[in-house]
Amino acid sequence: MTKTGELSNIPYDDLVVDERFGPYDEVVTAHLASRLAGPIGAPTVASFAPPAVYPVLFLRALRRAMGGIPAGSILAKQELEFVRELPVDSPVAVTTWVGAKEIKRDRPFVTIEFEIRDAEDQLILTGRKIIVWPTGPGEQA
C-alpha cells in the first residue's frame, strides 16, 4: 500500500510497520549534486550523484511521508547500501516505510527504511535511519 500524508509527530503507537509511503518522484539534478559533492553549497562539478545526495533524498521523502523527523527525536544511526551509480539529472523514485519499532534499554527505537530506484525501476540504493522516537508505547505526541 502506498499513500502520502502529514503525520508529523505521529505517536509511537500509531506507527504501522511495513506501511509504504510513496514512491515519491525526485530528480538528482546537477544543481543538487554539485552542492553536495564538495563543501556543502559550494558548487563542485559531479557527473554522478555523490553519496551525500542520498541522506538528502531520505529527508525529502520523510517530509512528504511523515512531515519530517518528529520534534524531540534523536537520529541515532544511518545505514546506506549503494547498489548502482546514478548519473546526474536522473529521475528517481523514493519509497519509505517503518521497518521496525522496538523498545531497547527503555527507549523507543524506530527504523525508517528507504529504497531508491531509477526511471528503469533499477535499484540504486537502500538505506535506513534508526531514530529514538520522542514518544513510547502509550504516550501521545
Partner 1 sequence: MTPELNEFLAITDTVTQERIDTYAELSTDFNPLHVDPEAAAASEFGGIIAHGPIALHAFFRAMTGWLGVDALPAGSTVSVAYRAPTRPDDEVTCELREMTEIEPGKFELSAECLTQDGTVVVSVRATVTVPEAA
Q: According to CB under 8 A, which one of 7, 10, 24, 35 is a site residue for partner 1?
A: 35
| Measured CA distances, 57 to 114, 135, 136 (Å) | 9, 25, 27
State the Cα angle at 78 between 69 and 84, rounded to 5°.
Answer: 115
Give the nearest distance from C-beta 35 to partner 1 in angstroms. 6
Contact, 34 vs 45, CB < 8 A? yes
Give the nearest distance from C-beta 139 to partner 1 in angstroms. 18
97, 98, 89, 86: which is closest to 122 by C-alpha?
A: 86
Site string for partner 1, 60-99 (x = CB under 8 A): x-xx----xx-x--xxxxxxxxxxxxx-------------
Alpha helices (H) in the chain, listed in sequence order: 30-37, 53-66
For residue 50, state whether it binds partner 1 (rule: CB under 8 A): yes
Contact, 73 vs 132, CB < 8 A? yes
Helix then strand then coil, in percent of the chain rounded to 5, is: 20, 40, 40
For residue 6, state whether it binds partner 1 (rule: CB under 8 A): no
Give the nearest distance from C-beta 56 to partner 1 in angstroms. 5
Size of the site for partner 1 (CB under 8 A): 38
For residue 56, state whether it binds partner 1 (rule: CB under 8 A): yes
Give the nearest distance from C-beta 13 to partner 1 in angstroms. 23
Give the nearest distance from C-beta 20 to partner 1 in angstroms. 20
For residue 108, state whether it binds partner 1 (rule: CB under 8 A): no
